[in-house]
Structure 1
Amino acid sequence: MRGVLPVAAIIAVVPCAVMAQEEEAAGPIAPYEAVVRPTGDSNLDRLLAAQSLLISQQTRAPTDADGVRSRMDAEPTRLRPLLDAEGFYAAQVQVVPEGQPQNGAEQPLKIEIRVETGPRYTLRHVETRGGPPVPLEPGGPARAEVVLAAQATALTAMRAAGRPLARLERQVTVDHDARAMDVAFVSTPGATANFAPAVVDGTVRVDPEVVRRVADARLAGRLYSPARTVGARADVMALGPFGSARIEEGEALDAEGRLPVTVRVQERPFRALSASVAYETNYGASVRGAWEHRNLFGGAENFRVEAEVSRLGNEFDRTNGRLSFTYRNPLPLGYDGSLLTNLSFLRERLDSYDRDAVTLSVLYERRLTDRWTVNAGPVADIGRTGPSGLRMVGYQIAGFQMQARYDSTDSALDPRRGWRLDGRLTPSYAFVQATPYLQLRASASTYIDLSGNGRSILAMRAALGSLLNARPGDVPFNQRFYAGGGGSVRGYSYQSIGPRDALNKPAGGASLLEASIEFRQRFLDSFGAVVFVDAGAVGDRSFAPTDEIRVGAGVGVRYYTAIGPVRADVAMPLIRQQGSSGFGVYLGLGHSF
């Protein structure tokens, strides 16, 4: 016997949405315990148990005797689509109780769900009409998941080839006599098309022209690609004023053969306050607060004021402070990208050096792809600096920063997979020392999901730095490299690793090398634990140091929140460093890297 399988049957891989129309019994209940008798296929047994209404509702929604009978009667019909989707079209389902359900019974009624799977049907014949063949080979089990995956792959390939209106339908025929299934795909690739200029909807106080230009930079006049729409949405969201954004594709091409697109946005509050606190042994507490306006002049301009006080708990005259003003202007002078201007006032009182300074940077930043971002522009640093607690002298530095960043991680706050790369090159000139030099910094981190469900993560990080054409003494203190502390090598005091001066204070170096490995394990819903090893070294020469490496190890706990994990780490140095403490405690928001 042959039959055309309806669409619903082939896609019934997940539990049915239709639930028995029952209410929890108000009076006596009839307790029961339902189980699936093993079929010999553990994966099928697991799917059956998940699909079973008898099993899922036995403790969640107790019912009376009539309700139990209703569930038993409905069970074969409920499990039928799952068995068909797994290729068991001739399967038989029986629900066998050890007695009759009774209201108020002291012992639960034992109910066994027996499934005789019969033979698994095979995929006999596959054909594709009207387009490239669907990558589905005959001869395997007639499972819905395989058919749907092949169909999705073929449709994705057509759309990725620039065909926005591609369609792919299927017809499934089951031959019960031959215990086989035939699948016929009907393909309508449609024409290739470019994106039309975007239409913007939903703006109230943000200039829609800004949104349109940002979206068109990724879309207008370019060959259709689903990846481009994803990138355009990310660019619009990166502007800042919007709580949501989506890009809707037209259902037909326009008169010029282009695909219409509509960018629908929803504005969020433009003004925002934020604050954070952190603590590190031998450095003290830090408090940071910020205010920002996400649409200062109506063109999605972002203005942010941030203040930070650190080293709290030390003597007052050793307290650090920072006040910064940042202005981000999208589409500067009509060019794609953003102009990022930052003005900061700094007071630093560290074990390594003292510094009072004003810094200024004007950077042109542009996203090249969904993952790559670059920026470049002039930077300046003017102030006074000197050894910790001693007289400070003036300095002036001018440079030109060039930076590239890559980010393929799945989360900014709690990454579970992907890579982050960051490289920065800054040719500079120190006027007081009359020294031209080149500062290089690079870092990389990767995150591996060991469990497949995001609960067991292996995180690794490496960083290096080099000061070219200059020795440490040829540049101001803040241009040198230091290691040690919560964002570097835990277990060691802040900036304590590396060369020291005659007063046994950190002197900074011309090269930096760091590496970390951390295993993160979540448990329960909101808690986690970590174990980690950090290593680092600072050298006098420009090349990465390989001697005097310091290693710290420790453990920590995490409490996961909507704004990121709250972190508490304890670490100890495995190799003692002169001038550093014997342990470190680190509290803060977010992972260490």
Structure 2
Amino acid sequence: MVNRAIRPAQNSAPPFGRIAVCCLALSLAPACAYLPFTDNDETTGSGNTTIPVTIEGVPKQLESGALKSVEIRAGEPTSLLDVRRRATQAASALEEYLASEGYFMAVVSPDLVEDMDMRPQLDVDVGERFTIAEINLSGTETLPADVLDKLSIASDELGIGTWAVTTDIEELERRLVTELRREGYAFAESEGIDALASRADKTLELTYQLVPGPRVQLGELIIPEGLETKDRSIEILRNWELGNYYTPEKVETLRTRIRGTGLFDGIGVQIQEDPAADGLHPVELQLSEGKRRSIGAGISVSTSEGVGATASWERRNLTGVGDTLGVDAQIATLTSGLTLSYDRPNIGRYGRDFSAETGIRAEETDAYDLQGISATASLSQPFNDHFTLSAGATIDATRSTDYELRAAGEDDYEEQVTFSFPLGATYDTVKRPLDPQSGNRVSLGVEPGVSVGDSEAPFTRITSSASTYHKISERLVAAVRAEAGTFLGEDDVPVDRKFYAGGGGSVRGFEYQSLSPTDADGNIIGGDAMFAASAELRWRKSERWGYVAFVDSGSAAGSVDEAIGEMRTSVGFGVRFYPGFGPVRFDIATPLDRRDGDDPVQIYVSIGQAF
């Protein structure tokens, strides 16, 4: 709210009441979309949006806002009195708009209308535009010097001598309160703005009536009783040391952490106004736990990789510490498997997560057939909001055959057990994994290991990927991805440890694994390296539908340099359907440099963006 007074002037000016009315516009929006009517509410009636008057005398830069300020939604006037009433109301609305732009002395006079067919004209004398002469802050006398300095910097953004525009004046009020809250004054508010206008100097003196309240030091969390989740698993989410000053960011981060557990449907965070005996302000949580079980299913279709279906079951908060037990099953043309997983978050500190899984799988591809059983455990630790390191151990028992063993006889399989220790680093600023809009994602994986059994081979497998997303406009997103891998060590490793390219996961438009090295007879063999790159332009046409144009390139070879030199490229077009949880993807792609035997097009249907 803006409270106003008028400094008397010795020269001629409109009466005091007129100025008071003009100054009142400081508390209004700069343009009124519809006029309030006193006799009847025409704003809710039928009719188009119309401008019932013509305007003369408004500065050119304000013409658009002036016209908008006098718009009404109403039918045709019903009488000459109605025409005059609309003209009078339009004049008042226009004066309010001009005052909100700093023209407090503006006078708007409607012409007398004698005929219903005559469109009233508003004659405007805007007068001189007022500027800001002085900005004062009330209620800040006891604030520390560093806080006063920040409030002064915020005040300087409005600036002495600038035009007295309502939106700017009220925006400063919002910034001052926000700055106080950032400095720990959780209950800071404003009781309004006192404005003193000088008609002689055409200036405005502003006094912001601030009420900082106490500087809040944060205390313990108050957790609701009766939750299935154990208190310690909620307390570990607290992101401040006892006694730290309040900031809105701390509370929002806590809310984000609680939401990220996936355990609660309703989340409330409230700072208690009264401090505890230790002088700290407890933070009270209002939590409503969600369902603990869920099931899911999915389907994928591809002309290069066949048909696949997945099903999942999940039990959250298994032991009350936010842990999750999951079962995932997959049946597909190329790969089938069953996986049991367990995830335990926040071990000892926030973000230190343990995960373990075991599973069986079967793969039948052009390059090899494989059956395997594996077990993996890993520990990850974020070092800030975006950077995470992980380390783990894996044991993988496989029975596989490739084209050479197939040629020797179908009973000739190679049995191996592989021990590896994957290490990973991830930098991720992407907020919507299923449908990224902005941000970057970079990952590096190094997996040293050894395979024993029918053959013995030490190795190190290195993979890396980088993707970036840029929102060009409200509905247009550009996305780019590059990924590479290389293999060091002996070749006698399980065939699925090698690198392959081609298909929906790397280069759309080509058959699965078809961009991999081949022997003299044309049989696919794994490569020691891989490189692939993709670029997409994603257009969200509406809430439910979107379209994508893309280019993919890639190859697998004996080295990264060879892979880059042998890259093949495809182009394509895609449709995205948004049911509410993420896009359903339909892509069609064609090779640009098609080889003998390559199909002209490949089609892919799946869930989520390609990357």
Q: TM over 0.5: same fold?
A: yes
In structure 2, distance between residues paired with 1:47 and 1:236: 48
CA contact (8 A) 1:214 1:232 kept: no
- Aligned residue in 2 for 1:12: 29
Q: 1:507 aligns with which of 512, 515, 525?
A: 525
Aligned residues of 1:515 and 1:536 also touching (Cα < 8 A)? yes
1:200 is displaced (CA, Å) by: 1.6
* Closer/same/farther in 2, CA of residues 243 and 124 from structure 1, 3 Å limit: same
Alpha-carbon spacing, 1:30–1:426, altered in 2? closer, same or farther (3 Å): closer
Distance 1:397 1:365 in 2: 22
Cα distance, 1:224 vs structure 2: 3.9
Q: What is residue 586 of structure 2 aligned with on the other side?
A: 568
Deviates more, 1:376-385 or 1:208-217: 208-217
Identity %: 25
**Change in 2 beyond 3 A, CA 1:529/1:198:** same
Letter in 2 for 1:325: L
1:554 pairs with 2:542: no
Partner of 2:131: 122
Contact 1:10 1:84 in 2 (8 A): no
Taking the aligned partners of 2:440 and 2:216, their CA distance within structure 1 comes to 33
Distance of aligned partners of 1:334 and 1:417 in 2 relative to their CA distance in 1, 3 Å threshold: closer
Comparing 12-21 and 414-423, the one that deviates more: 12-21
- Give the aligned partner of residue 197 of structure 1: 220
Aligned to 1:393: 414
State the match for 1:34 in structure 2. 51
Give the superposition deviation at 1:475.
Answer: 2.4
Task: Show the counterpart of 1:316.
Answer: none
**Structure 2 counterpart of 1:372, from 387, 412, 433:** 387
Query: Displacement of 1:358 after TM fit?
Result: 1.4
Question: How much has 1:265 moved relative to structure 2?
Answer: 1.8
Gaps in structure 1 of 5+ consecutive residues: 103-108, 312-318
After superposition, the C-alpha distances for 1:349-394 in whole angstroms (9 at most, x for unaligned) are 1222221111211122344433334432212221112226934311
Q: CA deviation at 1:430?
A: 1.9
Distance (Å, rounded) in 2 between the aligned partners of 1:244 and 1:73: 50
Find 1:182's aligned residue among 197, 205, 213.
205
RMSD, matched Cα: 3.9
CA shift in 2, pair 1:335/1:351, >3 Å: same
Looking at structure 1, the residues matched to 90 and 380 of structure 2 have their Cα atoms a distance apart, in angstroms, of: 60
Residue in structure 2 matched with residue 304 of structure 1 by the alignment: 326
Matched, 1:442 2:455: no
The whole-number CA distance in structure 2 between the counterparts of 1:115 and 1:544 is 76
- Of 470, 487, 507 in structure 1, the residue corresponding to residue 489 of structure 2 is 470
Q: What amino acid sits opposite 2:536 in the alignment? A: E
Q: Aligned residue for 2:434? A: 413
Q: Which moved more, 1:79-88 or 1:565-574?
A: 79-88
Map of 1:105 onto structure 2:
none
Cα separation, 2, equivalents of 1:84 and 1:231: 41
Task: Give, in angstroms, the shift of residue 551 of structure 1.
Answer: 1.4
Shift of 1:438: 2.3
Do residues 541 (structure 1) and 559 (structure 2) align?
Answer: yes
Stretch deviating more after TM superposition (392-401 or 428-437): 428-437
Aligned residue type for 2:391: A
Q: Which amino acid counterpart does residue 398 of structure 2 have in structure 1?
A: G
Question: 1:422 aligned to 426, 443, 448, which one?
Answer: 443
Secondary structure of 2:578's counterpart equals strand
Per the alignment, residue 483 of structure 1 pairs with 501
Please give the secondary structure, in 1, of the residue aligned with 2:593. coil
Q: CA deviation at 1:547?
A: 0.7
Does 2:359 correspond to 1:344?
yes
Question: 1:163 & 1:19 partners in 2: Cα distance?
Answer: 38
Of the candidates 311, 333, 345, which is equivalent to residue 289 of structure 1?
311
Alpha-carbon distance between aligned partners in 2 of 1:515 and 1:195, rounded to the nearest angstrom: 48
CA distance in 1, matches of 2:62, 2:298: 47
| 1:360 and 2:375 correspond | yes
> Does residue 1:326 correspond to 2:341, yes or no?
yes
Stretch deviating more after TM superposition (568-577 or 2-11): 2-11
Structure number with greater Rg is: 2
Could you say if the C-alpha distance between residues 407 and 68 of structure 1 is closer, same or farther in structure 2, counting changes exceeding 3 Å?
farther
1:215 corresponds to which residue? Answer: 237
SS in 1 for 2:252: helix
SS in 2 for 1:369: coil
> 2:439·2:469 contact (CA, 8 Å) conserved in 1?
yes
Residues paired across the two proteins, number: 567
Partner letter of residue 132 of structure 2?
L
Deviation at 1:556, TM superposition (A): 1.5
Does the C-alpha gap of structure 1 residues 366 and 159 become closer, same or farther in structure 2, counting only changes over 3 Å?
A: farther
Change (3 A) 1:173 1:592: same
CA distance in structure 1 between the aligned counterparts of 2:279 and 2:63, rounded to whole angstroms: 48
> Does the aligned pair in 2 maintain the 1:504–1:579 contact within 8 Å?
no
Q: Report the secondary structure of 2:51's partner residue.
A: strand
Q: Could you tell me how far apart the structure 1 residues matched to 2:400 and 2:478 are?
A: 40
Structure 1 residues 573, 148: CA separation in 2 closer, same or farther (over 3 Å shift)?
farther
Tell me the residue number matched to 1:226.
248
Q: 1:260 to 1:574 in 2, by over 3 A?
A: same
The one-character-per-residue Cα deviations of 1:91-124 (angstroms, maximum 9, x if unpaired) are 566789999889xxxxxx9898998766543333
CA contact (8 A) 1:430 1:436 kept: yes
Quote the Cα distance in structure 2 between the aligned partners of 1:342 and 1:6: 69
Q: Secondary structure at the match of 1:306?
A: strand
- Please state how far the C-alpha of 1:262 moved relative to its aligned partner: 1.9
**Is 167-176 or 13-22 further displaced after alignment?**
13-22
Shift of 1:576: 2.9
> SS of the counterpart of 1:216?
coil
Gaps of 5+ in 2: 1-5, 8-18, 141-147, 407-411
Report the residue type matching 1:435 in the other structure.
A
Distance 1:47 1:577 in 2: 66
Q: Does the aligned pair in 1 maintain the 2:25–2:100 contact within 8 Å?
A: no
- 3-state SS of 2:29 partner: coil
TM-score, scaled relative to structure 1: 0.82
Query: Secondary structure, in 3 states, of the residue corresponding to 1:564?
Result: coil
User: Normalising to structure 2: TM-score of the pair?
Assistant: 0.79
Matched residue type, 2:330? E
Bigger drift between 428-437 and 179-188 goes to 179-188
Equivalent in the alignment of 2:12: none
Q: State the distance in 2 between where 1:82 and 1:485 align.
A: 61
Q: Is the 8 A contact 1:164 1:193 kept in 2?
A: yes
How far off is 1:525 after superposition? 3.6
Per the TM alignment, residue 336 of structure 1 is displaced from its structure 2 partner at its CA by 5.8
1:53–1:71 CA contact under 8 A, matched in 2: no
Q: Which amino acid in the other structure matches residue 344 of structure 2? A: N
Of stretches 134-143 and 357-366 in structure 1, the one that deviates more from structure 2 is 134-143
Question: Which of 424, 428, 436 matches 1:403?
Answer: 424
- Structure 2: distance between partners of 1:236 and 1:329: 15
Which residue is equivalent to 1:45? 64
1:34 maps to a residue whose letter is: I
Alignment of 1:122-271 (within 5 A): 122-128=131-137, 130=140, 131-132=148-149, 133=152, 134=154, 135-136=156-157, 137-153=159-175, 155-157=177-179, 159-161=181-183, 164=186, 171-173=193-195, 175=197, 177=199, 178-185=201-208, 194-201=217-224, 204-216=226-238, 220=242, 222=244, 224-271=246-293
Distance 2:573 2:592 in 1: 14
The 1:413/1:335 distance shift into structure 2, 3 A limit, reads closer
